[in-house]
Amino acid sequence: MRHFPFILVVLFAVSISGCLKQGGIYPPISEVPQVLIDYVENTTKIYLRGVGDYRYDAMNISVYDRAGNTYTNVSENNTYFLSSTTTSLNFSLTLECWSSGGHFYYLGNFTHIPSENTLIIEEKGRSREVSYASLPYKTTLEMIK
């Protein structure tokens, strides 16, 4: 009976080891990319990076200016982060990252209302208003299986 706590600890460690194993169902948290979006001096700044220091096989930022009907694309291989800017007040943003853990994706629509110091963000079927004072906006990309 005195070995019972030790046995419980061993069983618990074995049961969670699958969750911690790299290459499992989900990548380690340091590998999950996030986007940070800021608005400074009439320019939207987009930063794509890992939660931790992680080098991605490839990163891509695509900005579609809905008012001007133009695309801007920035991509790089074997990089830790990527950035882009736009002066568009109405744009769609597509982000992609590839790593050994998988393919990550983000899609959002952004509309600036400078007279109200507000950014409207539409993503995942939801719309929200974000005050410029509360920027930068941060979110993580979703893993595509």
Alpha-carbon distance 17 to 120, whole Å? 41
The domain spans of the chain are: 25-144
Q: Which of 123, 116, 120 is nearest to 95 (CA)?
A: 123
- What pTM value is reported for the model? 0.79
Find how far residue 48's CA is from the centre of its chain.
7
Kind and range of the H or E run holding 113: strand 102-113
Alpha-carbon distance 129 to 99, whole Å? 32
Q: Which architecture, in CATH terms, is 25-144? A: Sandwich (2.60)
- Residues in the chain with pLDDT < 50? 8, 10-25
pLDDT of residue 37: 98
CA atoms within 13 A of residue 4's CA, in its CB half-sphere: 2
- Which residues does residue 107 pair with via DSSP β-bridges, in sequence order? 94
Task: Give the end-to-end CA distance of the chain in Å, rounded to a whole number.
Answer: 45
Find how far residue 42's CA is from the centre of its chain.
23
pLDDT of residue 21: 43
Alpha-carbon distance 141 to 61, whole Å? 12
pLDDT of residue 5: 56
pLDDT of residue 100: 86
Q: Tokens at residue 64, please? A: 């579609």
pLDDT tens column, 25-49: 456 777 889 999 999 999 999 999 9
pLDDT of residue 104: 96
How big is the chain, counted in residues?
Answer: 145
